[in-house]
Chains A and B, each alone.
Chain A
Amino acid sequence: MRGLATVPNYVIMQPTTLCNLDCEYCYLPLRAADHRMPVAVAEAVAADVNRWAGPGFSVVWHGGEPLAAGRDHLAALVAPFSDSITHHVQTNATLIDDAWAEFFLTHRFRVSVSVDGPPARNDLRRTRGGRPAYDRIERGIATLRRHGIDFAALCVVSQPTDGLATELYQYFLGLGCDVLGLNIEETEGVNRRSNAFAAGPVQRFWAELTTVWRADPRIHVREIEWSLRYLAAVLDGTADDLLPRQLDPIPTIGHDGSVHVLSPELAGFNDPRYGDFAAGNVRDRPLAEILVDAPARGWVPEFLRGVEACRASCPYFGFCGGAHAANRYFEHGRFDGTQTNHCRNSKIRLLEGVLDHARDHGPRPAERTY
């Protein structure tokens, strides 16, 4: 895997910067303001996306809270995209009512909700008035179930501890999500809370998750599936072919038409050395042209050197593909470093935790024959 592809497999769109919640760990800098994406920006993006779109090409609506843009405005933003596009939304679910459920069905949206487990685990999820948001989250999810809408869930884990993985997995089994992703909290954006967790609890968290999932694998757990995919490749000798030939640029189009590649967490920030981190603006140039230039502009060359540094130095590179841009910047202050806390928490400890589970719950390791 070398360099940055110039054609993406999906784009992320920010219909509004506003979020109706004010979660303590949120990295978004503009979430108290309602800056909405003009339809002209969506039209500009759709001009290229519709050419690229093949089976499974996705447009991911993210924010802020995408539903805070309102149904009429979100429908207007969706309208320029061709019917072959799959639309996804990542939502806190608090605004989901019967009308939103009908919207999802009409526009064939795939829905993913942000929820951190049982009520007590959502204590950092608060309304702007400081009240717990869980009841509203649960009500929105119940609405999805009532309308027969499948949904995924993203769970932020703020402090890995023994017993937590079991508690969370049991909760999500009851919630009824099809797919579950777990994000160990990251220090990025405006979130300056430390994620420098000790290795032991993190690794045991992932091992415990694998154990409890294996006992009842009704949910597709992202981190476990990715680990298993890598382990299978190692065992059949194809691990070197697992990473993509080039990084997907993963363009995020901000409310104002700005384009950020690789890490949307950089949007809204400014740095004396890197400027606003944007690769361009679709109001000025087509997205396709911006992505052709992106690998050689701004911070991206430094990041690509950082990926090479990871390749040369980290035994887990074949599993990970290199530390992510936002984690590099917000943890190290630049893009050409290597291991981050996020690498350790969500890649290295993950793989080692799954291996620990296999060691402790499987046949004896292969014995030497000499």
Chain B
Amino acid sequence: MPETTARDQLSARIDALGPAVSDLLTEADGARTDRDEDAVERGLAAWNHFDNIPTFYNWNNRPR
């Protein structure tokens, strides 16, 4: 199916950028630690809770 091929192509492009994306991901992990996002007391907006994102704020559902 063409759509499966297109999806595979997207995944392949992401894989091909693996080293660059991995660098970005590593830095992002460090930034989350610096922002102390694991602290229970730290409040994130409901629309941005990692496991609880409303489509109202225009994202897709995430599982709890």
Cβ-neighbour of A234 out of B1, B15, B42 (below 8 A): B15
Q: Most chain-A CB neighbours within 10 Å: which of B17, B27, B35?
A: B17
Size of the chain B interface, CB-CB below 8 angstroms: 50
Q: Is the interface of A mostly helix, strand, loop or mixed?
A: mixed
- B-contacting residues, A324-340, CB 8 Å: 324-325
- Residues of chain A within 8 A (CB-CB) of B35 are 178, 217-218, 220
CB closest chain-B residue, reference A243 = B60
Q: Which residues of chain B from 36 to 64 have a CB within 8 Å of any chain A CB? A: 37, 42-64
* Chain A residue nearest to B44 in the complex (CB): A179
Instruction: For chain A, give the interface size range.
Output: 35 or more
Instruction: Tell me if A355 is interfacial: C-beta within 8 Å of chain B.
Output: yes
Please state if B14 and A60 are interface contacts (CB–CB under 8 Å). no
Closest to A321 in B: B60
A181 engages B47 (CB within 8 Å): yes
Cβ-closest chain B residue relative to A5: B61
The dominant DSSP class at the B interface is: helix
Contact B14 A355 (CB under 8 A): yes
Task: Say yes or no: A362-B56 contact (C-beta < 8 A), given A56-B49, A58-B46, A86-B46.
Answer: no
Q: Judge whether A231 and B19 touch: CB under 8 Å.
A: no
A316 CB–B CB distance under 8 Å: yes
Question: Do A10 and B28 have beta carbons less than 8 Å apart?
Answer: no
Q: Select B49's contact among A58, A231, A359, beta carbons within 8 Å.
A: A58
Set A56, A112, A218, A235: member contacting B14, Cβ < 8 A: A235
Cβ contact within 8 Å between A1 and B59: no
Most chain B Cβ neighbours within 10 Å, of A234, A243, A361: A234
A214 touches B (CB below 8 Å) = yes
Binds B, one of A34-42, A197-205, A247-255: A247-255
CB within 8 Å of B: which A223-242 residues: 224-226, 228-229, 231-232, 234-235, 239
Instruction: Write 11 A-B pairs (CB below 8 A) sorted by A numbering.
Output: A56-B49, A86-B46, A88-B45, A90-B47, A220-B44, A225-B50, A235-B14, A318-B7, A358-B17, A365-B17, A366-B18
Interface residues of A (CB under 8 A from B): 1, 9-10, 12, 56, 58, 60, 62, 86, 88, 90, 110, 112, 150, 152, 154, 178-179, 181, 183, 186, 210, 214, 217-218, 220, 222, 224-226, 228-229, 231-232, 234-235, 239, 243-248, 250, 252, 262-265, 312-318, 320-322, 324-325, 342, 346, 354-355, 357-359, 361-366
Q: Which residues of B does A touch, CB under 8 Å?
A: 1, 3, 6-7, 9-11, 13-25, 27-28, 31-32, 34-35, 37, 42-64
Question: Nearest 10 pairs between A and B by C-beta?
Answer: A362-B20, A321-B60, A217-B31, A244-B63, A152-B45, A315-B6, A88-B46, A363-B19, A315-B7, A358-B20
Given A150-B43, A262-B55, 10 more A-B residue pairs with CB atoms under 8 Å apart are A9-B52, A86-B43, A90-B45, A178-B43, A220-B37, A231-B21, A245-B63, A324-B55, A324-B58, A365-B18
